[in-house]
Amino acid sequence: MHLLILALSLAAFAQEPAADATPVVSNASLKLSLTAADGTTKSGHVTRIERGEDIYGDKGWLDDEKALKFYVESDKEYKKITWNDVKKVTIKVLDSKDMSCVYSSDFTPWMYECSVKLSSALTTKDGKRYIADSGHKWRFVFDDGSESELWLKRHYARQQDDKQVELGDDLENSDLYEMLQERLRKDMKSSLTVSIGVQ
């Protein structure tokens, strides 16, 4: 009798959904092919697109229809489109030696970042060509649950200092700047997305 009660209890427990499991809601359906600077590619069916609430995605991700539109510009027009309108994007670093580095004292310890400017030449499905004008980070979620994140206007490397600035210290951590610049140089040869194909 005790075994029967135990078996029924276990069966009921197994059927209960995990309390912290949040179902992923699909908001997209497109085939995406991403090519990185080192030539590796990731292709698959994207079921979800998100845009960072801030430039970095630190404050969370937006998935509503309005947030997923972004500006593109040409000599003749400046307008908003969606990823469904895109056929191809080619992303280039404008100048690999032109790195901009800053720190933010809004964080404790301070947050450091270095970045390089990107130019994202975009072709829409109707054959028109534009430059993408979106500074936010984008995230694509594939069928298998894997994710790819990228920027279209500026690529960043960020890290918070491991110690707080004390009286008498140098104001800025030059070693951390050098580390972030090295990370950017590595990204530009490896993981930075250089091409996006959309079907």
Please give the torsion angle defined by the CA atoms of residues 84, 124, 146 and 157, in that order, rounded to the nearest 10 degrees.
-130
Average pLDDT over residues 142-161: 97
- Check whether 7 has a pLDDT greater than 50: no
Question: Residue 166: what pLDDT?
Answer: 66
Residue 103 lies in a domain: yes
**What is the widest separation between alpha-carbon atoms in the chain?**
80
Instruction: Name the residue type at position 96.
Output: S
Residue 2 lies in a domain: no
Question: Residue 37: what pLDDT?
Answer: 98
> What does pLDDT average to over the chain?
90
- Check whether 103 has a pLDDT greater than 80: yes
Tell whether the torsion through CA atoms of 75, 77, 79 and 84 is positive or negative: negative
Residue 16 lies in a domain: no
pTM score above 0.75: yes
Question: Residue 164: what pLDDT?
Answer: 83
Residue 13 lies in a domain: no
Least confident of 22-26, 55-59, 103-107: 22-26
Tell whether the torsion through CA atoms of 45, 140, 51 and 88 is positive or negative: negative
Residue 144 lies in a domain: yes
Average pLDDT over residues 31-54: 98
Place of tokens 């979106």: 134
User: Where in the sequence is the domain holding 119, given as residue range(s)?
Assistant: 25-191
Residue 141 lies in a domain: yes
- Residue 135 pLDDT class (50, 70, 90 cuts): very high
- Check whether 67 has a pLDDT greater than 90: yes
Q: How many domains does the chain have?
A: 1
pLDDT, tens digit, for every residue of 154-163?
999 999 999 8
Question: Residue 4: what pLDDT?
Answer: 42
Residue 15 lies in a domain: no
Residue 72 lies in a domain: yes
**Beta-ladder partners of 99:** 116
